[in-house]
Amino acid sequence: MGDDERTALEPDELEPDELGGDAACWLGSVCADCGAMIEGPPGTACWRCGGTHREGD
C-alpha cells in the first residue's frame, strides 16, 4: 500500500537500441575539403568550411 508508483514503467525505456542504432552509422564522417569530423546525417554542411562533400562520396 502506497507503493503503486513503483509499478509504473515507462514503455519508452524498453527499447533503447532504437535510438542509438541510427546515430552510430553517420557519426565520424570526414569532410573531403578540410578533413574536419562532421557529425550529423548525410548532407549536413561541414561546421568548419561549410562544404557538404565527405570522404567516400
CB 56 to Zn ion: min, Å: 14
Q: Which positions lie near Zn ion, rule CB under 5 A?
A: 31, 33-34, 36, 46, 48-49, 51
Contact 23, 14 (CB under 8 A): no
Strand segments, DSSP code E, in 1-57 are: 29-30, 37-38
Minimum CB–partner distance for residue 21 and Zn ion (Å): 26
Could you tell me the smallest distance in angstroms from the CB atom of residue 9 to Zn ion? Answer: 44
Q: Which is nearer to Zn ion, 22 or 35 (CB)?
A: 35
**d(C-alpha 16, C-alpha 7), whole Å:** 20
